[in-house]
């Protein structure tokens, strides 16, 4: 962290300036809203070459097909133009300059077409499982600007001229902000596509009619005609700043519009950042109304606005993306992609938008920090419960940037008496005050960065679930990562938070939740008991304290790795397994395809094995993890070896074995069977086969058929996994049981004779 010379210094180093020589003059301003009107306005199709006509026609027709939801047609049209004019080919240099002062992008429509590739691809294959979040993008319209305006080249060089006041061009507000919405339309669809449906951009408008922004014109090239956008952000309410993810600022232009400057270009906008690190698109009002000198002549038609403004927006947006992924080094010194030698060896193409597409699909979308997660920057009140679970003391310790360049880029949260401070390696410190209800550490008056707070970044997994664990502090838009107390050096132990159910679950003590409250982690079961848990990231477990009935025992976490995440499936405690619900309902759970028969084994048997692939299967082909446990480990021990259940033991007696299969999603299938150990061994088989009551089929869809059942019996259907009881619906003669409303799983039908008290049971698998 170093002192910035000013906000403007940062802003001007992120500007988009590409100069294109022009040799023609505009035919004149027109209000062309269709492609035919556009061609007529600029001299007819005859002044455009075949490639330009094809690009313009394809762009407009594909955009209209997208608007109509006809993605198959859109794809066919894009495939057609790329057959003649391939992506990244030199042939696109033939449509760099438009005739007669028109501006449809350079190369013509190429940026928009490449953006529409992603939009069409997503339209053809949308993501129904997307956890959609709204991006609040507020367009701030500044009512007034004022400053010294040069009228001659001499005044420009001397920094002199007339003091003038400008008002916002009225076209920006007309027809419900029509031209601004038109400028952003394709870009908004692009964001949804490249985040795989996870982000919807919601446009809002804030009118600062009474704000008059001080503006100026620089004396030397590149000429800059703008003001300090920080003054605009400071004029907003705190609520507006906290609830906005992205800003776009439009202010009255201060470009000197005199004939002597007709061939000069003035920078009026670019990409900045707010204090939460969110992107700030900056442009004067004329940017969406007329073409600046280096891009064309006259006012924009709708066709030009639709084809060019997405090019500018994509450029500025990727500045922001490269800034928030510094570890990928996709932009090091600014605009590095203009040097083709900077491109990675696996990148293809040659134009700027080719670089964006390559970095998007070959770097950014493959990164374990998904775009949707990085692009939400507002103070999210929905995370208030997670923030309220934190304690300031758990935040003590070291933090640093990913790329440390000086002593300001490393620091620690420290405690001195009853106060807390940020102290960096440069030995500079200032007070921080916890404001967990606002998701931040507020800085004190002693801070060298007035008004800049530390925003708490909570751990969020790849699926968008948020946990009450601070993994970094965001300050001045940069992330200072936490450097301690993680499992596997990357993941917080708070991943274990959530509800669990034991197999088997016989009472309320076998179900409960691991929670976090004010920095402490607790187990609370459904019977009302509450125990403190001590995290141990090294052993990936929780130790129980004296407040529990089993001090010094552990909850040993069962974790599974995915490409970018670690997930907690459950934990083992006192020889039993407790499982979380599966994460995604769309992923079908494994099933029991062949129930394990009850066993009778001989005393002092050495080993009994069973291949579990014959018992469990996953219809989606997911690999399975197997677990087993015994009710009485002194009688029978269980282990899993190479996909086989191994039983060892030898004492006489009876016990129940529980066997479980889980996929990586946490989908669970469980089976149980009884084992009887005696000196005399009878045939191995299902105990239910020898009973007076028989049941068929053992694998059922809608109905179970029962023989030998009399009115003296009551019937219960009990889940083998959770112990939950279902009430089966019997026919009049009580010989057929309707289970079509029963969820799939493994169950026991329990028959109790109300006269004798005799209990019989039979295992049923419901599909």
pLDDT digits (tens, 9 = 90+) for 353-392: 999 999 999 999 988 888 988 899 988 878 889 999 999 9
Outline where 348-496 has alpha helix (H): 352-359, 371-374, 384-388
Residue 319 has pLDDT above 70, yes or no: yes
Residue 43 has pLDDT above 90, yes or no: yes
Residue, of 701 and 417, whose pLDDT is higher? 417
| Residue 21: per-residue pLDDT | 36
Task: Calculate mean pLDDT across residues 130-159.
Answer: 96
pLDDT grade for 744, boundaries at 50, 70 and 90 = confident
For 652, other C-beta atoms within 10 Å of its C-beta total: 12
| Residue 448: per-residue pLDDT | 94
pLDDT digits (tens, 9 = 90+) for 257-297: 898 998 889 999 999 999 888 999 999 999 999 998 888 88
**Location of structure tokens 């300031």:** 392
CA-to-CA distance for 36 and 21, rounded, in angstroms?
A: 26
With CA atoms as reference, report the closest residue to 74 among 159, 158, 155, 193.
193
- Among 112-126, 166-180, 222-236, 601-615, the least confident range: 601-615
pLDDT grade for 692, boundaries at 50, 70 and 90 = low
pLDDT digits (tens, 9 = 90+) for 337-347: 999 999 999 99
Could you tell me which residues come within 8 angstroms of residue 126 by beta carbon, excluding any fewer than 6 positions away? 197
**DSSP-assigned letters across all residues of 445-470:** TT-SSTT--EEEEEEE-TT--EEEEE
Q: Is 51 helix (H, G, I), strand (E, B) or coil?
A: helix
Residue 732 has pLDDT above 60, yes or no: no
For 522, other C-beta atoms within 10 Å of its C-beta total: 16
Residue 754 burial (CB < 10 Å; 0-12/13-18/19+)? exposed
With CA atoms as reference, report the closest residue to 14 among 396, 252, 321, 357.
321
Using an 8 Å Cβ cutoff, are 567 and 558 in contact?
A: no
The predicted model scores a pTM of 0.74
Q: Which domains does the chain have, with CATH numbers?
A: 7-372 (no CATH), 379-482 (2.40.128), 493-579 (2.40.128), 591-685 (2.60.40.10), 689-766 (2.60.40.10)
Q: Residue 627 corresponds to which tokens in the numbers above?
A: 């677990």
| Residue 489: per-residue pLDDT | 83
Using an 8 Å Cβ cutoff, are 120 and 58 in contact?
A: no
Residue 187 has pLDDT above 90, yes or no: yes
- Among 191-200, 423-432, 529-538, 699-708, the least confident range: 699-708
CA-to-CA distance for 488 and 750, rounded, in angstroms?
A: 46
Q: Is 562 helix (H, G, I), strand (E, B) or coil?
A: coil
Output the average pLDDT for the chain: 89
With CA atoms as reference, report the closest residue to 18 among 216, 267, 285.
267
Strands 591-592 and 599-602 come out as unpaired
CA-to-CA distance for 466 and 446, rounded, in angstroms?
A: 32
CA-to-CA distance for 617 and 625, rounded, in angstroms?
A: 11
Residue 507 has pLDDT above 80, yes or no: yes
pLDDT digits (tens, 9 = 90+) for 48-76: 999 999 999 999 999 999 999 999 999 99
What percentage of the chain reaches a pLDDT higher than 90?
71
pLDDT grade for 28, boundaries at 50, 70 and 90 = low
SS3 sequence, 100-138? Answer: HHCCCCCCCCHHHHHHHHHHHHHHHCCCCCCCCEEEEEE
pLDDT grade for 460, boundaries at 50, 70 and 90 = confident
**Location of structure tokens 């005739």:** 99
CA-to-CA distance for 504 and 668, rounded, in angstroms?
A: 13
Residue 497 burial (CB < 10 Å; 0-12/13-18/19+)? buried
Residues shown for the chain: 767
**Angle CA 352–358–364, to nearest 5:** 115
Using an 8 Å Cβ cutoff, are 698 and 763 in contact?
A: yes
Using an 8 Å Cβ cutoff, are 146 and 212 in contact?
A: yes
| Residue 712: per-residue pLDDT | 72
In angstroms, what is the C-alpha Rg of the chain? 34
Q: How far is CA 188 from CA 94, 185, 303, 313, 600, in A?
A: 29, 5, 17, 10, 67
Output the CA torsion sign for 262, 267, 268, 270. Answer: positive
Q: Residue 127 corresponds to which tokens in the numbers above?
A: 């993501």
| Residue 713: per-residue pLDDT | 79
**Angle CA 599–558–606, to nearest 5:** 30
Strands, sheet with 759-766, edge to edge from the N-terminal-most edge strand: 699-700, 759-766, 745-753, 713-719, 725-726
pLDDT digits (tens, 9 = 90+) for 303-312: 999 999 999 9
**Location of structure tokens 């204090």:** 275
Omega before 77 within 30 of 0, i.e. cis: no
| Residue 657: per-residue pLDDT | 96
CA-to-CA distance for 398 and 413, rounded, in angstroms?
A: 7
Strands 699-700 and 668-678 come out as unpaired
pLDDT digits (tens, 9 = 90+) for 468-495: 999 999 998 788 999 888 888 889 999 9
DSSP class of residue 405 equals -
Q: Residue 181 corresponds to which tokens in the numbers above?
A: 């919405």
| Residue 2: per-residue pLDDT | 34
Using an 8 Å Cβ cutoff, are 453 and 430 in contact?
A: no
| Residue 581: per-residue pLDDT | 96
pLDDT grade for 742, boundaries at 50, 70 and 90 = confident
pLDDT digits (tens, 9 = 90+) for 386-403: 999 999 999 999 999 988
CA-to-CA distance for 255 and 227, rounded, in angstroms?
A: 12
């Amino acid at each position: 962290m170093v002192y910035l010379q000013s906000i403007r210094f940062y802003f001007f180093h992120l500007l988009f300036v590409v100069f294109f020589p022009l040799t023609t003059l505009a035919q004149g301003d027109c209000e062309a809203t269709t492609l035919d009107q556009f061609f007529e306005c600029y001299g007819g199709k005859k002044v455009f070459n075949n490639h330009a006509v094809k690009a313009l026609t394809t762009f407009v027709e594909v955009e209209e097909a997208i608007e109509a939801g006809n993605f198959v047609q859109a794809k066919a049209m894009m495939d057609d133009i790329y057959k003649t004019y391939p992506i990244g080919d030199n042939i696109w240099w033939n449509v760099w300059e438009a005739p007669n002062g028109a501006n449809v992008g350079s190369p013509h429509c190429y940026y928009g077409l490449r953006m529409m590739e992603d939009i069409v691809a997503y339209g053809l294959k949308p993501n129904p499982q997307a956890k959609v979040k709204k991006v609040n993008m507020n367009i701030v319209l500044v009512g007034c600007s004022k400053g010294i305006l040069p009228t001659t080249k001499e005044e420009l060089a001397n920094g002199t001229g007339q003091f003038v006041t400008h008002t916002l061009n009225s076209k920006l507000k007309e027809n419900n902000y029509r031209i601004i919405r038109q400028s952003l339309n394709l870009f908004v669809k692009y964001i949804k596509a490249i985040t795989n449906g996870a982000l919807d951009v919601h446009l809002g408008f804030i009118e600062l009619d009474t704000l008059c922004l001080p503006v100026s014109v620089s004396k030397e090239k590149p000429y800059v005609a703008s003001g300090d956008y920080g003054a605009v952000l400071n004029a907003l309410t705190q609520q507006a700043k906290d609830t906005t993810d992205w800003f776009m600022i439009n202010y009255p232009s201060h470009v000197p519009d005199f004939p002597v400057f007709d061939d000069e270009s003035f920078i009026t906008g670019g990409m900045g950042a707010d204090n939460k690190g969110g992107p700030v698109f900056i442009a004067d009002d004329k940017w969406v109304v007329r073409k600046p000198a280096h891009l064309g002549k006259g006012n924009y038609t709708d066709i030009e606005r639709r084809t060019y403004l997405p090019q500018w927006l994509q450029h500025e947006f990727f500045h922001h993306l490269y800034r928030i992924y510094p570890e990928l080094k996709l932009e090091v010194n600014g605009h590095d992609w203009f040097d083709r030698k900077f491109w990675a060896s696996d990148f293809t193409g040659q134009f700027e938008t080719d670089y964006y597409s390559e970095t998007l699909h070959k770097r950014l979308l493959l990164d374990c920090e998904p775009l949707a997660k990085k692009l939400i920057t507002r103070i999210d009140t929905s995370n208030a419960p997670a923030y309220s679970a934190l304690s300031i003391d758990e935040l003590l310790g070291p933090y640093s940037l990913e790329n440390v360049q000086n002593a300001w880029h490393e620091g620690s949260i420290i405690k001195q008496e009853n106060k807390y401070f940020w102290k960096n390696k440069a030995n500079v410190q200032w007070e921080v005050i916890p404001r967990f209800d606002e998701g931040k550490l507020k800085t004190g008056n002693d801070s060298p960065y007035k008004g800049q707070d530390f925003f708490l970044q909570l751990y969020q997994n790849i699926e968008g679930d948020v946990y009450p664990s601070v993994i970094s502090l965001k300050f001045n838009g940069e992330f200072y990562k936490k450097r301690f107390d993680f499992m596997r050096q990357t993941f917080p132990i708070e991943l274990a938070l959530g509800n669990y159910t034991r197999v088997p679950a016989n009472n309320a003590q076998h179900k409960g939740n691991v929670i976090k409250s004010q920095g402490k982690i607790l187990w609370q079961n459904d019977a009302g008991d509450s125990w403190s848990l001590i995290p141990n990231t090294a052993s990936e477990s929780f130790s129980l304290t004296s407040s529990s009935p089993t001090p010094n025992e552990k909850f040993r976490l069962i974790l599974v790795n995915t490409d970018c995440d670690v997930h907690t499936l459950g934990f083992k405690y006192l020889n039993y397994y407790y499982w979380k619900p599966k994460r995604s309902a769309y992923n079908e759970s494994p099933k029991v395809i062949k129930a394990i028969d009850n066993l009778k084994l001989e005393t002092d048997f050495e080993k009994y094995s069973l291949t579990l692939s014959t018992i469990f299967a996953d219809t989606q082909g997911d690999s399975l993890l197997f677990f087993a446990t015994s009710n009485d480990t002194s009688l029978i021990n269980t282990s899993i070896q190479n996909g086989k259940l191994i039983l060892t033991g030898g004492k006489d007696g009876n016990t129940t074995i529980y066997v479980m299969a889980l996929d990586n999603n946490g989908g669970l299938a469980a089976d149980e069977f009884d084992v009887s150990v005696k000196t005399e061994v009878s045939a191995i088989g299902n105990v239910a086969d020898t009973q007076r009551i028989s049941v068929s089929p053992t694998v059922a869809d809608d109905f179970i058929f029962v023989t030998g059942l009399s009115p003296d019996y009551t019937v219960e259907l009990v889940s083998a996994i959770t112990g939950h009881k279902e009430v089966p619906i019997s026919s009049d003669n009580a010989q057929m049981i309707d289970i079509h409303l029963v969820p799939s799983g493994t169950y026991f039908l329990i028959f109790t004779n109300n006269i004798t008290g005799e209990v019989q049971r039979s295992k049923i698998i419901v599909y």
